[in-house]
Amino acid sequence: MPLSLLAPDPATPCTDTDQICQWLYNVTDSAWLADGGYYLLIKPIRIIVIIVVALIARSLLNHTINKIVARTAQGKVPTMLRPIRVPVAVLNSGSMFPERRRQRAEAIGSVLKSMVTVGVFSVAFLIVLSEFDVNVGPLIASLGIVGVALGFGAQSLVKDLIAGLFMLLEDQYGVGDVIDTGEAVGVVESVGLRTVTIRDGRGVIWYVRNGEIIRIGNKSQGWATVMIDVPIGFVGVEDATAVLRQAVDAFANDPEWSADFVEPPQVLGVENISVDGAVIRTVCKTSADRQWDLQREMRRRLTEALEASGIAAQMQAARAMRTAVPADEPTAP
């Protein structure tokens, strides 16, 4: 650049130390352009640099979050996305249900990316305002007041989001779990920050807000106890107990079902006595995802065992004798 372009000109509106103004005046020969050169050239460049830096920072942070989410979906769960309370089923199996793991990771990743976007662009916006000599102190205070007002006005939404976030962090339930929320009982089909979608046994879809859930019963985490009460009427308790124990022992040793038992099944004995006779309870501990299949199979085997031993016929005969009305019994007037 020629030195003459930077040499001060007494006729210019610039000061001796303002080289940018002097350079613009020497190039354009325009006093108003030289006078406003700082705001027409330097300020826009600085604002563009701030925006570009914010975009780059947001992109890098989102890329890091995407990599973490991808690793989590593949089973490599980093420390920041591990649940605060690890379910027993996860400890036993070493992994989580794939769809549940993927959806949980994506939900947490979406929250993190939203927080990054809001944080980065909020800081960039305040820096841009400061470039225009705007006092950002009162603005920050005003935004804080507006945030408090919105928080009071949208309490239910904030409550749902906070409850959903803690639900994800604590891994209270996930896709594929069978949960009981009080009103709705069924299989979790999707999990979000605001609502959870449940399909009950009749196929009805329930959309339950996270903030309205007071208590959760998860039937799919860890192990489950199957309890079956078998009424035997007034037949011999010892005979019926022996038959049931033989049936559950054969069931536990069946190669097709033995892997589903956490502990061997037990026949506890008489659980209840009513006008219809005694009730014998049988319990077993199994994995949570197999409890219903195992329960149905055990009921079938116990029923067949009672029928094969003749106890079922004795129960029916005793019930028929109790319900039969003698022919010579006088009828009520």
The domain limits of the chain are 3-35, 42-153, 168-218, 223-322
pLDDT tens by residue, 244-253: 888 888 888 8
CATH class of the 168-218 domain in this structure? mainly beta
Q: String of b and e for 62-88 (b: at least 16 CB within 10 Å)?
A: beebeebbeebbeeebeeebebeeebe
Contact 211, 160 (CB under 8 A): yes
| Dihedral angle, C-alpha 309, 313, 316, 321, nearest 10 ° | -120
The CA distance from 329 to 333, in Å, is 12
pLDDT tens by residue, 110-154: 778 888 888 898 888 888 888 777 777 777 777 777 777 766 667
Q: Of 228, 226, 190, which Cα lies nearest the Cα of 207?
A: 190
Q: State residue 324's pLDDT score.
A: 61
Low-confidence ranges of the chain (pLDDT < 70): 1-41, 73-101, 103-104, 150-153, 318-319, 321-333
Q: State residue 239's pLDDT score.
A: 85
For residue 317, give Cα distances in angstroms to 11, 31, 321, 323: 125, 117, 6, 10
Q: State residue 257's pLDDT score.
A: 85
Q: State residue 95's pLDDT score.
A: 44
Q: State residue 306's pLDDT score.
A: 85
Q: Is domain 223-322 classified as CATH 1.10.3980.10?
A: no
Contact 315, 279 (CB under 8 A): no
The CA distance from 148 to 140, in Å, is 12
Q: State residue 56's pLDDT score.
A: 94
Q: State residue 37's pLDDT score.
A: 59
Q: Is domain 42-153 classified as CATH 1.20.120?
A: no
The answer to whether 168-218 and 223-322 have equal CATH topology is no
